[in-house]
Amino acid sequence: RGITHLPMTPEQFRLDFPEFADDTKYTDASVEFWLTVSESLVNPCRWGVLTDQGIELCTAHHLVLAARDEATAAIGGTPGQVTGPQSSKAVDKVSASYDTGAATIDDAGMWNLTTYGVRYLTLARLMGAGGMQL
């Protein structure tokens, strides 16, 4: 039995993720591009009723990465450079550090670069896992 899935629209994505409402920063073309990519990564037969959430989390992840690259390019930097989660920062005499291990997933690679990616991968790893007992 197949599951019918209607394509996600930029409008619906923005309703569900209002933090991407700025259609100048996150153009419809960019949102549509990443929605299309994400739809190919989320199998409705495995994700079931969470299909749209998987597509939206994957799209949000890629939009954040694209926005970072765009911001880097806008100041003359090289977009696409790989950096990991920031673990500490110092300004003058004030410093702060974070336990990045508490918010990342082992062997998650680029999915650890945004909170959307971490949430997407957490759900993706559960899809098709079968029943569990505690």
Task: Tell me the three state secondary structure of residue 23.
Answer: coil
pLDDT over 50 (residue 1): no
Cα separation of 58 and 122, whole Å? 11
Per-residue pLDDT reduced to its tens digit, 107-125: 778 898 999 999 999 999 9
How much is the pLDDT for 16?
97
Average pLDDT over residues 38-62: 95
Per-residue pLDDT reduced to its tens digit, 85-111: 555 566 777 765 554 554 566 777 889
Q: What is the CA radius of gyration of the chain?
A: 17
Is the four-CA dihedral 90, 62, 60, 109 of positive or negative sign? negative
Per-residue pLDDT reduced to its tens digit, 51-90: 999 999 999 999 999 999 898 888 888 887 776 555 556 6
Is the four-CA dihedral 86, 89, 17, 81 of positive or negative sign? negative
Contact 13, 57 (CB under 8 A): no
pLDDT over 70 (residue 134): no
How much is the pLDDT for 96?
57
Q: Which of 36, 31, 34, 38 is nearest to 14 (CA)?
A: 31
How much is the pLDDT for 59?
98
Burial of 86 (0-12, 13-18, 19+ CB in 10 A): exposed
Tallying the residues shown for the chain, one arrives at: 134
